Structure 1
Amino acid sequence: MDENTDIKLFNNIFITHRERYIRFAYSYTYNREAAEDLVTESLIYYWENRNRLQDVKDIPLYILVTLKNKCLDYLQRERTWNNIAENLLSNKEWELQMRISSLEACEPETLLRNEIQDLINQALAKLPEKSSRIFIMSRYEGKNYQTIAQETNLSVKSVEFHISKALNVLRKELKDYLPYLLLLFDFFYE
């Protein structure tokens, strides 16, 4: 065939079959733009390979088979993308669920209390052993000054001095946490 005959044949196929091909592709893709693109690709494929296809008797059928294969490729790509999207979504959903669970289990008061308790323990470790022990007896064991004085063989005034010394160190060490400490602990009061 000569070039003009090829062009006429191709134009005739394009005019008479294009909409049918689009409906065919759309019935599988459910996407008009994708169907039109697949038809165009199939027609272009035929046009570019027409010289090799001299033995093809039914060109519209050949183009339809080409279109069918392109639709299959399209649907397989869609399935792959959907699987990837599902996996991403399920991973994202899992990660989101983990963050929600973690936040629901989080008790800020406990976290803050533990953090402050660690800071108090560090501050008490900086004190002389006697001052630290007297402070613990007063604030953690709930003993009054008289009882502490008797147990340590010190005067009440000495017990007051050690507790005052401990409170001053704690106030300095924990100055950034003082508002929280006032809410959580009552040991800053003498």
Structure 2
Amino acid sequence: MDLCQFSRFLNEYQQGFIRFAYTYVHDRMAAEDIVIEAFTYYWDHKDKITDASNIPAYVLTTVKHKCIDYLRHEQVCRDASDELYQLYSWEISTRIATLENFEPSEVFTSDIQRLVDEALEKLPEQTRRAFTMSRYENKSHQEIATTLGITVKGVEFHISKATRLFREVLKDYLPSFLLYTLF
């Protein structure tokens, strides 16, 4: 088959082969590409084909195999996409569940409590005792003064000293701190 005969053959069968391929691949551009590839394959291998061969059947068989390859490739892509979608869905579900179970107050409460404990350790013994008796044991200033053997003004001084230290230590948490009103 010479180039002129091939051109007539292409013009005669191309649209029918494209319709055939489109029936299976459902993509006009892909169908056109498949048919062009099939004609190109035939042209590249025409010397190996006998004159007695049914050339349109040969090209249509090539179109058929290229359609099968295309569909298998699409299936692999779809399977991979489905697998990625399932993985992504699982990840999203996990993140949602994690966020639903997350309690910011617990994070801030534990951080604040750790800072308070560290600050309490830094306080002088008398100041620490006055503060803990006031805030944790709910004792009045008079009761603390009596227990520690100091004046009420002394108790106020120690509590004020402790409160200043806590304000400094908890300055980054002050808005949260106010929510929890630990002091």
Letter of the structure 2 residue corresponding to residue 170 of structure 1: F
Q: What CA distance in whole angstroms lies between the structure 1 residues aligned with 2:77 and 2:169?
A: 57
CA RMSD of aligned residues (A): 2.1
CA contact (8 A) 1:56 1:62 kept: no
Deviation at 1:13, TM superposition (A): 2.3
Residue of structure 2 equivalent to 1:181? 177
Decide whether aligned partners of structure 1 residues 53 and 130 sit closer, same or farther in structure 2, where only a CA change above 3 A counts. farther
Residue of structure 2 equivalent to 1:111? 107
CA contact (8 A) 1:17 1:60 kept: yes
Q: What CA distance in whole angstroms lies between the structure 1 residues aligned with 2:90 and 2:138?
A: 48
Paired residue for 1:71, among 64, 67, 72? 67
Residue of structure 1 equivalent to 2:11? 15
Letter of the structure 2 residue corresponding to residue 93 of structure 1: S
Identify the range of structure 1 (149-158 vs 55-64) with the bigger mean alpha-carbon deviation.
Answer: 149-158
**Gaps spanning 5+ residues in structure 2: where?**
none
Deviation at 1:60, TM superposition (A): 0.6
Paired residue for 1:30, among 22, 26, 29? 26
Instruction: Give the percent of matched residue pairs that are identical in Structure 1 and Structure 2.
Output: 44
Residue of structure 1 equivalent to 2:137? 141
Decide whether aligned partners of structure 1 residues 92 and 56 sit closer, same or farther in structure 2, where only a CA change above 3 A counts. farther
Letter of the structure 2 residue corresponding to residue 33 of structure 1: M
Residue of structure 1 equivalent to 2:155? 159
Residue of structure 2 equivalent to 1:128? 124
Aligned residues: 183
Decide whether aligned partners of structure 1 residues 41 and 160 sit closer, same or farther in structure 2, where only a CA change above 3 A counts. same
Letter of the structure 2 residue corresponding to residue 50 of structure 1: K
TM-score, reference length from structure 1:
0.84
Is structure 2 residue 100 aligned with structure 1 residue 100?
no
Q: What CA distance in whole angstroms lies between the structure 2 residues aligned with 1:11 and 1:44?
A: 12
Decide whether aligned partners of structure 1 residues 47 and 174 sit closer, same or farther in structure 2, where only a CA change above 3 A counts. same
Letter of the structure 1 residue corresponding to residue 41 of structure 2: Y
Q: What CA distance in whole angstroms lies between the structure 2 residues aligned with 1:40 and 1:129?
A: 91
Q: What CA distance in whole angstroms lies between the structure 1 residues aligned with 2:84 and 2:147?
A: 66
SS at match of 1:51: helix
Decide whether aligned partners of structure 1 residues 165 and 14 sit closer, same or farther in structure 2, where only a CA change above 3 A counts. same
Cα deviation 1:23-64 (Å, max 9, x = unaligned): 111111010110000000000000011111236610110111
Cα deviation 1:59-94 (Å, max 9, x = unaligned): 110111111111111111111111121122222222
